[in-house]
Amino acid sequence: MSVSHASPFSIKTQSFGSLSEGGEAQLFTLANGRGLKVVITNYGATIIGLWLPDRAGVLADVVLGYDTLAEYEQGTCFHGAVVGRYGNRIAGGRFQLDGREYTLPINDQPGGLPCSLHGGPAGFHRQLWTAETRLEEDAAVLELSHLSPAGHAGYPGNLLVGVTYRLNQDNGLQVLYRGETDAPTLLNPTQHAYFNLAGAGQGKIDDHILQLAASRFLPVNAGMIPRGEMERVVGTPFDFVAPRPIGSQLGEVHEQLELAGGYDHTYVLDDPSWRKRVAAQVLHRESGRLMEVWTTEPGLQFYSGNFIPEGERGKAGVHHGPRSGLCLETQHYPDSPHHPGFPSTELRPGGKFHSETEYRFAVV
């Protein structure tokens, strides 16, 4: 079914198949009439594809992913999904809130140190979200909502969470998060799309030029858990204050690169205002495709795709591998419940969680 409107925006809805445990997933294609098209499924609130022109006007899908719903059900890389309740890691799969300890499923154990990652094996990325679409004067909009019941994946509180994707006329894709709870809980959602501005399956992202609005990052232990301090990036391979190729210092000897197999660290954004401001810029010189990431969040997890399986089959028969895509996950810091000095991820009854991230695309 297609929805038409006098504006150049359009939304197309179609089936994406049946889930193994029941329920029908859908695909939503949002287009702005300016060459930008994004395909999203309500399974995991997942970005399936994002089509951008290069400087010659040639379109390419710049988001890694799969062809079928079954592959998303079985995948382990969180391709394109919204993850939570807690994006990133919680050490030991445990946290305390108001004097009570909660135990979470363990799904990630780097360095032999257990933790819970991205809300656990059955987090938001494994849920079928309720979807509504609409056309506005200046945007195509997909609203997704999900009720996460108290006790699911070990978290307290019935949580009503929402994600709105808004494709605007300025080639921006806004991602707006919201949440409410009936009991104290944690909430730290983020988007886990892997980008390759050359096109999905078109080699590594080492030649992408990255700039981050952050002069500090969070060093981690062997379990990829922040140690607690913030370290200056100057004089280290983690310095992207000035733009440079991602791969230019990956070969340097540095404890943090060795622990993560590359970059998989939270950067502390220099502007502490919580207003929407630029956090990152990525350029692929050959195609001219440019992406800026704007956010209201205090941190950004830069992941260079170190553990994408070699030979993983992607869309249209292309193959992925380590560093074939990069993630720029806007979020609060990992393991915040164990670090009182980190911004709080607690959400309480009567409070409303709001967060906004926008991916802005251009050709230079």
pLDDT, tens digit (0-9, with 9 covering 90-100), for 311-364? 999 999 999 999 999 999 999 999 999 999 999 999 999 999 999 999 999 999
In the prediction, which pLDDT does 5 show? 47
CA-atom Rg of the chain in angstroms = 19
In the prediction, which pLDDT does 202 show? 96
For residues 189-198, average pLDDT: 98
- 112: confidence class by pLDDT, cuts 50, 70, 90: confident
Which helix (H) or strand (E) element contains residue 70? helix 69-74
Q: State the SS3 of 138-181.
A: CEEEEEEEEEECCCHHHCCCCEEEEEEEEEECCCEEEEEEEEEE
Residue 11 scores a pLDDT above 80: yes
- 115: confidence class by pLDDT, cuts 50, 70, 90: very high
Instruction: Read off the tokens for 35.
Output: 């060459």
In the prediction, which pLDDT does 111 show? 78
Shortest CA distance to 19 belongs to which of 125, 115, 106?
125
Q: Could you give all domains of the chain from N- to C-terminal order, each with its CATH number?
A: 2-363 (2.70.98.10)
- 43: confidence class by pLDDT, cuts 50, 70, 90: very high
In the prediction, which pLDDT does 2 show? 47
Active site residues: 192, 329
Residue 233 scores a pLDDT above 80: yes
In the prediction, which pLDDT does 1 show? 47
Q: pLDDT tens across 88-106, in order?
A: 999 999 999 999 999 999 9
- 7: confidence class by pLDDT, cuts 50, 70, 90: confident
For residues 235-258, average pLDDT: 97
In the prediction, which pLDDT does 6 show? 63
In the prediction, which pLDDT does 339 show? 97
Residue 285 scores a pLDDT above 60: yes
Q: Which residues contact 104 (CB under 8 A, 6 or more apart)?
A: 90, 93, 94, 95, 116, 120, 153, 154, 155
* Cα dihedral 272, 280, 65, 206 sign: negative
In the prediction, which pLDDT does 109 show? 78
In the prediction, which pLDDT does 343 show? 97
In the prediction, which pLDDT does 108 show? 77
